[in-house]
Chains A and B, each alone.
Chain A
């Protein structure tokens, strides 16, 4: 049957959904509706753009030809005001309406504006959307003074980018520690040292009272217990919240995010949600969660795209994964990395390319991990990820994270004479490699 499928959003979830949908359905009409005026770009890359490691043109991960070849109409720069579930139509900000048979809501999330007085003016920016990154790029002048409010994943990457561009940078964080959603305490401590070593000022447990502009137009950020911080640019990075207002009836009271089942369908038949906006199932059961992570958006988009075409794909649940390099160190985490009562932990440290690694194990099954160091930190968690995802018990965690179970160790020649044979993926780990689907 030829349907009209509307996809609200143009990010990781939307693109992944479109691509998967077309594997199942080549005939139905698809329209992508996005409030932003450009083809898909990668939010993950914005800090790298500010660091000047990615040119502007490479921020765009799909071009116009992609949408043409995928048979998708584009309504760009058209924000959706309202979803009329009863009439099966979208009301756009420009007054138009668009009817649909099936709908995917993948509008992402938006930065939270903290209740700090004076957060107004062209020098005060989030780092979330493409236009904001462009404005920050122009504000990043060597020798300028930047104050970053917040010490989460995006804020710290923004601080690192500013530092690399030669700015004087101060980070102010209300909480007692940095990166609570990405790193455990020891990991955060190591990164903190790296931040300080890079010459960036860092104040945790510090309450930002307000931003004022003096008579000459210069900004001053007042922080409780500190002398005022003069600033040429202020970056506000205090988290994001899902753009879930489009389907408020599917947001549980007191929560954020549109609740979806394991097919990514909302409580409304034929209406799906994926990506930062969705509160979906997680690996190993437990309460549904909003991850707001790129890999989760890709996975959920795939499931939603298949099901928009009637394919009955089921999502096993998302597993959080974070990785970036900043302040000279690779920071990676996976799943539930903070140990709770009843967990055991395996810690490794001071191996070549690995400064710190902790795996949290529950009843023999790894639940998550944190790693800091070189590229090896990311690879170590890559080895571990299938075991966390499939909840496979691991007798020798160290052999897994060092890669000995599949490859005798990451470092060529480093062996301890221990092959964990057939530990997962059947014979695949034994050598005769086969294309398969290790990821999902």
Chain B
């Protein structure tokens, strides 16, 4: 399966992904409704997009008392069925990454569903920070990104700061 992989070094915090997601998921450009968020750390001059990792053992899915969360056979995305969601917020409590949102208007939880296999965030990314890649490829990528981030934080690559 494929996931939305993130390369923090390429992100320029333009927030296009947030706008694209909000428009796809909620029909307007209210970024608070987006299921991807760009965290911006000015002191470190770092910005990192965060979205659901479609965990292999998705605790939100296992713990949902309404049986409303299931993995899509097509895309592998962990999806919330709004019709079955009771709005109990157990999934919000279960996710350690804050990647589940709550739609107050409809009283249901919502999360990244990979847009059915065509994630709009990736399509709107202007800097190549978001890629829709196979999980195995994301693995190798992650090691590189972590190394880069550590160099960055430890000021080992002075030219960048």
Contacts and interface: CB of A to CB of B under 8 A. Distances in A.
B146 A378 contact: no
B87 A323 contact: no
A438 B46 contact: no
Given A48-B87, A421-B153, A430-B48, A437 B56 contact: yes
B6 interface: yes
Interface string A353-385: 000000000000000000000110011011101
A17 interface: no
Interface in A6-57: 12, 16, 42-45, 48, 53-54
Chain A interface: which size bin? 35 or more
A383 B92 CA distance: 9
Interface string B1-44: 00111111000000100100000000000011010011111111
Contacts of A188: none
Nearest to B139: A434
A406 B41 CA distance: 11
Contacts of A440: 57, 59
B66 A58 contact: yes
Contacts of B15: 412
A321 B93 CA distance: 8
A204 interface: no
A428 B138 CA distance: 12
Interface residues of B, number: 67
Contacts of B86: 44-45, 48, 53-54, 58
B132 interface: no
A135 interface: no
Nearest to B48: A431
B8 A419 contact: no
Contacts of A385: 93-94, 96
Contacts of B98: 379, 382-383, 403, 406-407, 410
Interface string A327-367: 00010101000000000000000000000000000000000
Contact of B88 (A325, A382, A417, A432): A325
B59 A407 contact: no
Contact of B40 (A53, A295, A415, A426): A415
Contacts of A430: 8, 48, 145-146, 149
Given A294-B63, A419-B46, A433-B51, A412 B37 contact: yes
21 contacts: A42-B65, A44-B66, A58-B84, A302-B62, A325-B88, A375-B101, A378-B89, A378-B92, A379-B92, A381-B93, A382-B92, A408-B38, A408-B41, A419-B46, A419-B48, A431-B8, A431-B149, A432-B8, A439-B57, A440-B57, A440-B59
Interface of B: 3-8, 15, 18, 31-32, 34, 37-44, 46, 48-60, 62-63, 65-67, 83-84, 86-90, 92-98, 100-102, 104, 107, 135, 138-139, 141-143, 145-146, 149, 153
